[in-house]
């Protein structure tokens, strides 16, 4: 019987969620805010610059990308809401 891992995507989703939660938590702690929605555009630019310096294979890339995408949606909603 060959090796198989049914529903491996569930594991992947959980791991990505943990990474994203960790990034959100650290960012909030670093900037002294309660929610990432409170980030200023300047702070988001700092986070983008940090992410660009990460190794492209870093597992943390997913969490930072999720945060950046979320915040870009938040800013878009504020401007076009």
Instruction: Check: pTM over 0.75? Answer yes or no.
Output: yes
Number of H helices, E strands in the chain: 3, 0
Residues 6+ apart with CB under 8 A from 73: none
The band of 9, judged by pLDDT with boundaries at 50, 70 and 90, is: very high
Contacts (Cβ under 8 Å, ≥6 apart) of 70:
36
CB 61, CB 54: distance < 8 Å: yes
Alpha-carbon distance of 66 to 63, in angstroms, equals: 5
SS3 (DSSP) at 29: helix
Q: Is 20:59 a contact under the CB 8 Å cutoff? A: no
- pLDDT of 40 reads 96
Give residue 81's pLDDT band: very low, low, confident or very high (50, 70, 90): confident
């Amino acid at each position: 019987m060959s090796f198989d891992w049914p529903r491996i995507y569930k594991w992947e989703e959980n791991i990505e969620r943990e990474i994203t939660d960790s990034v959100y938590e650290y960012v909030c702690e670093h900037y002294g805010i309660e929610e990432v929605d409170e980030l200023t555009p300047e702070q988001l630019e700092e986070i983008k610059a940090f992410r660009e310096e990460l190794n492209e294979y870093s597992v943390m890339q997913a969490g930072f990308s999720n945060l950046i995408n979320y915040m870009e949606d938040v800013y878009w909603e504020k401007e076009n809401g």
